[in-house]
Structure 1
Amino acid sequence: MASDPHGDDDAFRWEGDDAPSTPVKKSAATPVAPAAEPLAEGWQAVGKGSETIEEAAAGEPAPLGNVALVSMGLLGGIYLLYTVGWVLGGIRMFDAGVFLVPAYAVIPVVWVAIGACAVWFGATMLLTRHAAVWVRFVWLVAGVFLLVPWPFVMGV
């Protein structure tokens, strides 16, 4: 009886198979696996595709779509225009404010009003980065209604 160089491993081989060290080329028709959701605490992903699961578990927010990015840009532009409106309205109101209240009390209030738009936009973007996109838009639209530069609008 001749000795087999592979021993009992012949049952696990199929003659004509490619060697396991040969890299498999992916074609354009190879489907891409859908994004995986993070695993529950205590579980670990192993095997093919486990890198995408680990990346999803890292907590990075999903990228926004084109419509969401354009909408956020428009809302950011509105906040920028509101800031300009508060600057112009604050300058107009300064004379009337100083007539009623000392200047050292009016100046900080005007600066807070000018900075409120930037603070609201920045805080909303920072605090809702892991929330759903609609939550971010609700807070941004609420700020658009709450931070209207009334001194500029009313022409005081």
Structure 2
Amino acid sequence: MSDARDEEGLGWAGDDDPTLAPEVRGGPGAAPRRTVLDEAEDAEDRAAEHELEEAERASAQLSSVALIGLGVLGGVYLLYTIGWAVFFSRYELAIDVTFGVFSDLIARTLAIAAAPLWFVATLLLTQRRDLRYRFLWLVIGVLVLVPWPFLIGGAA
């Protein structure tokens, strides 16, 4: 039950004019001519698809064995962090604030933070490298960051 006056606001004069239709190459039924905007959208779509394929390829590269290995090495680094924290928690700091006490506090903090920092830095810096290269650096960190004072029961 719409009135013709209501329909007037929904269209423009000359909407049905065939000369205003998009230009068509090759006659009726052919695809409309592509514009620069269409080409840019297609290029953007291709770039997005390429990024998605790379991300899928990167996530598929880690096999189950590699994930288990990363988990085990991550656990070792976590144990190292706990070992350093336990070792340093056994001893109290001096009350007076001298340069020696301050530098000792910094050294203890860095010793505790070294293991997780090495693990995260290795994962971030070896993202685009071979998986063997990543594991090599993680194993080097396991050998270098061992909390020897905690393991042999030494004094701080």
After TM superposition, the score normalised by the length of structure 2 is 0.57
2-structure distance, mates of 1:80, 1:135:
21
1:130 alignment counterpart = 128
2:107 alignment counterpart = 109
Which residue identity lines up with residue 153 of structure 2 in the other structure?
Answer: G
Q: CA deviation at 1:56?
A: 4.1
Matches within 5 A, 1:13-92: 54=50, 55-56=52-53, 61-63=58-60, 64-92=62-90
Gaps of 5+ in 2: 1-45
Runs of 4+ in 1 over 3 A off after TM superposition: 55-60, 92-95
Deviations 1:44-67 (A, max 9, x none): xxxxxx89x834467962421000
Gaps of 5+ in 1: 1-49
Q: CA deviation at 1:150?
A: 1.2
Deviations 1:110-138 (A, max 9, x none): 00000000100000010111111111100
Which residue identity lines up with residue 150 of structure 2 in the other structure?
Answer: F
2-structure distance, mates of 1:113, 1:93:
15
2-structure distance, mates of 1:86, 1:57:
39
Q: CA-atom RMSD, angstroms?
A: 2.9
* Structure with greater proportional helix content: 2
Tell which has more relative contact order, 1 or 2 (C-alpha 8 A, sep 6+): 1
1:6 alignment counterpart = none
Matched-pair contact (CA < 8 Å) for 1:82–1:148: yes
- Structure of higher CA gyration radius: 2
Q: CA deviation at 1:87?
A: 0.6
Matched-pair contact (CA < 8 Å) for 1:61–1:129: no
Which residue identity lines up with residue 108 of structure 1 in the other structure?
Answer: I
2:142 alignment counterpart = 144
Change (3 A) 1:87 1:56: same
Sequence identity, in percent? 40
